């Protein structure tokens, strides 16, 4: 608006000066009425008018150049804005497609969660029940990881991958205890006396205990839930403990592990 107003002012002044020049020529007396001084004044006035006209013309040319530059700049801005508008529309379309894809994935994940979460809880419950009926030493060894797994399954912020990983870890540990011997130190109750011993589990076949001096030995009896003395096997138990701790070369050792129990179906035949 400011540039247009100035242009109108320049144009008005130009017209005014032109009218003034015309008026001077129109009102000028005949040649016979002019003196030398009058002619000089008239010429000077005409020159001044032309000079002012030229000045206004130059100003208008500069103003026109500025206006053209501004027009070009505005056109460039309009092109940029148009490009940005079209680009934003493309981005919006792409985001809408991605949101739709994510929504489908979320629905699929929810369906998997709804099916998998009950299975994980049921599997953990079976693992906990199995651990309760396991050898006392193995029950104690599994307890920390089972608690951690329970906390993970009950954690609302944990995703299904984390929950599944925890449960698989607990299950793998429980399986390994059934195949490999384990050794630890603990106190056991023998006829009301608390004795510090080394415990040895031979998979899930048997659980033994050895006194600190290596003279006395016991075997866990599941039927009575007590440790029964087996002093004649103290040396053999000590050798197996040393083999398990890798302080002794592997050799054949006789232990009273008993016969493995047959599966229920085979036992009923």
Query: Which of these ranges, 7-21, 175-189, 192-206, 235-249, has the smallest mean pLDDT?
Result: 7-21
Q: Where are the beta strands (DSSP E) in the chain?
A: 182-190, 193-202, 206-211, 217-221, 226-229
| Band (4; pLDDT cuts 50, 70, 90) | low
pLDDT tens by residue, 75-91: 999 999 999 999 999 99
Q: For the residues 103-126, what does the mean pLDDT come to?
A: 92
Does the pLDDT of residue 261 top 60, yes or no?
Answer: no
| Band (14; pLDDT cuts 50, 70, 90) | low
Does the pLDDT of residue 216 top 80, yes or no?
Answer: yes
Does the pLDDT of residue 108 top 50, yes or no?
Answer: yes
* Whole-structure pTM value: 0.58
Does the pLDDT of residue 162 top 60, yes or no?
Answer: yes
Q: For the residues 258-269, what does the mean pLDDT come to?
A: 44
Angle between helices 36-132 and 160-177 (to 10 degrees): 30
First to last CA, the chain: 107
pLDDT tens by residue, 61-77: 888 888 888 899 999 99
Does the pLDDT of residue 29 top 70, yes or no?
Answer: no
Contact 49, 21 (CB under 8 A): yes
More confident residue, 5 or 151: 151
Does the pLDDT of residue 23 top 60, yes or no?
Answer: no
Share of the chain above pLDDT 70, in %: 83
Q: Mention every residue, 6+ apart, whose C-beta is less than 8 A from residue 43.
A: none
Give the separation between CA 54 and CA 178, rounded to whole angstroms. Answer: 109
Average pLDDT, the chain: 84
pLDDT at site 161? 92
pLDDT tens by residue, 163-200: 999 999 999 999 999 899 999 999 999 988 999 999 99
Most confident of 44-53, 187-196, 242-251: 187-196
């Amino acid at each position: 608006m400011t540039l247009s107003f100035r242009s109108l002012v320049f144009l008005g002044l130009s017209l005014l000066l032109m009218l003034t020049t015309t008026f001077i020529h129109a009102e000028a007396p005949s040649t016979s009425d002019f003196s030398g001084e009058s002619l000089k004044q008239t010429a000077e006035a005409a020159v001044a008018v032309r000079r002012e006209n030229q000045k206004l013309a130059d100003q208008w040319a500069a103003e026109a150049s500025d206006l053209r530059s501004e027009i070009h700049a505005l056109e460039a801005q309009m092109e940029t804005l148009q490009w940005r508008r079209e680009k934003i529309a493309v981005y919006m379309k792409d985001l809408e497609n991605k949101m739709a894809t994510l929504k489908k994935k979320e629905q699929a994940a929810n369906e998997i969660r709804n099916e998998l979460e009950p299975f994980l809880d049921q599997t953990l419950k079976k693992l906990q029940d199995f651990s309760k009926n396991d050898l006392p030493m193995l029950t104690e060894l599994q307890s920390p990881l089972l608690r951690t797994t329970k906390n993970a399954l009950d954690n609302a912020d944990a995703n299904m991958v984390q929950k599944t990983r925890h449960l698989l870890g607990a299950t793998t540990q429980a399986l390994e205890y059934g195949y490999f011997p384990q050794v630890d130190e603990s106190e056991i109750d023998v006829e009301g006396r608390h004795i510090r011993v080394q415990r040895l589990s031979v998979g899930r076949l048997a659980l033994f205990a050895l006194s600190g001096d290596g003279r006395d030995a016991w075997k866990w009896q599941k039927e009575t839930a007590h440790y029964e003395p087996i002093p004649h096997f103290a040396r053999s138990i000590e050798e197996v403990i040393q083999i398990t701790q890798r302080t002794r070369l592997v050799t054949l050792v006789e232990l009273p592990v008993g016969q493995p129990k047959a599966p229920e179906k085979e036992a009923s035949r």
